[in-house]
Amino acid sequence: MHKLMCKRLFALLVITPLLLINTTLAEVIHSERSLYRNILVEDKGDVRCLKFNVKSSKTRQSCYYKSNPEKLLFNYTKQLLTALLINPEPQNILIIGLGGGTMSNTLHQLLPNSRIDNIEIDQSVIKVARQYFAFLENDKIKTYSQDGRVFVKRAVLKKQKYDWIILDAFNGDYIPEHLMTKEFLLEVKMLLSDEGILTANTFSSSQLYPYESATYKAVFGDFYQVTNKDNSNRIILAKNHGFTDAFGEGASVMVHKENAAKLSEALLKVGVDANKLFQRIQSTKNKQNWPEDSPVLTDQFSPANLLNLSGD
């Protein structure tokens, strides 16, 4: 017993300095408690990150390189740009979930003539994005402090249309459940222009995977998805009137390849390989990896308790 305790004590003494070193690498330059969450801004070398609580190391909502803010850091933000291979010139863009505003800044760089509406429920997040992440706003880039679903409902009543809608809202644990239901997605669909594209940032490892997949298919029919073996993010791409071809088949494949070639140079400037994006797209038409009888999420059935079982 004495030898075992000594071994454990030795291990603790060895590990503890390492833990101290790791925790001191990141400098907290701002912290506050908003109406919705704890907000932290951390600097770690050249990288600045926005975090939504202090209990987990996997709560980074947005990061950027201070020396090169134009370059995207997260794989999932790079994968969101896959929509440009399908619709390379969206004129009106809606982003639900601001984070540090890096996606909005990147899209303005790539599409300077497009109009971008950013929706963020937490006014404190907007303030932090402006102060610490060089979030840009001008006559083409507007920000609305509002619940995403409320904004969508009002925009539908106003008969607004968007060529590209990005769903990237997280509350620190997962996507807010009222932004995952069939009713909400039907409202989002009404906002899409005829050739409009919806991209949603979700997770491939979540226990909600089959529920989310079944819900998107119920609203949009077969969709495309992009995954990366290096992380657990999944990007869903849905089209207003559905994709008639499985990706890589039919007449559309040549258009997608041409778009990738045209965008290649511009995307490289923000750290994105257009060819890799093209290669990672899969269609649910020829690869559906969830059970056919998976329940659809609705306003009456949205099992938030499953979030406790989600992986990362």
In terms of phi and psi (left: phi > 0; alpha: psi -120 to 50; beta: otherwise), the region of 42 is beta
Domain ranges for the chain, please list them.
75-309
Given 117, 163, 168, 222, the catalytic residue: 168
CATH of 75-309, one of 3.40.50.2000, 2.60.40.1120, 3.40.50.150, 2.40.50.140: 3.40.50.150
Which helix (DSSP H) or strand (DSSP E) does residue 275 occupy? helix 274-280
Q: Percentage of the chain with pLDDT > 90?
A: 62
Confidence grade of residue 172 (pLDDT, cut at 50, 70, 90):
low
Beta-carbon contacts of 281 under 8 Å, excluding residues fewer than 6 positions away, are: 82, 85, 224, 225, 226, 237, 247, 248, 256
Q: Give residue 310's pLDDT.
A: 46
**220-251 pLDDT, tens digit each:** 999 999 987 766 789 999 999 988 766 656 55
Let me know if 139 is a catalytic residue: no
Confidence grade of residue 22 (pLDDT, cut at 50, 70, 90):
very low
Q: Give residue 255's pLDDT.
A: 75
Beta-carbon contacts of 11 under 8 Å, excluding residues fewer than 6 positions away, are: none
Cα angle: 182, vertex 187, 189; to 5 degrees: 90
Q: Give residue 247's pLDDT.
A: 62
Q: What mean pLDDT value characterizes the chain?
A: 85
Highest mean pLDDT among 14-23, 26-35, 112-121, 163-172: 112-121
For residues 46 and 64, what is the distance between their CA atoms, to the nearest angstrom?
Answer: 8
Q: Give residue 88's pLDDT.
A: 94
In terms of phi and psi (left: phi > 0; alpha: psi -120 to 50; beta: otherwise), the region of 28 is beta
**50-87 pLDDT, tens digit each:** 998 745 444 667 899 999 888 899 888 999 999 999 99
Q: Give residue 104's pLDDT.
A: 96
For residues 206 and 209, what is the distance between their CA atoms, to the nearest angstrom?
Answer: 5
